[in-house]
Amino acid sequence: MTISEARKLKALEDENSRIKRIIADQAIQIDILKEVNSKKW
């Protein structure tokens, strides 16, 4: 593996981690909204 390939791999891994965090945050928000919406006011 060349240095250039290693840098690209690291960049992809960083982006993948960032996207996973975004998805987890959105899943939490969806769960919260579902819970709030299910309550009878």
In this prediction, residue 12 carries a pLDDT of: 98
State residue 40 phi and psi, 5-degree precision: -95, 120
pTM: 0.76
pLDDT digits (tens, 9 = 90+) for 1-41: 899 999 999 999 999 999 999 999 999 999 999 999 998 76
In this prediction, residue 20 carries a pLDDT of: 98
In this prediction, residue 39 carries a pLDDT of: 85
In this prediction, residue 19 carries a pLDDT of: 98
In this prediction, residue 41 carries a pLDDT of: 66
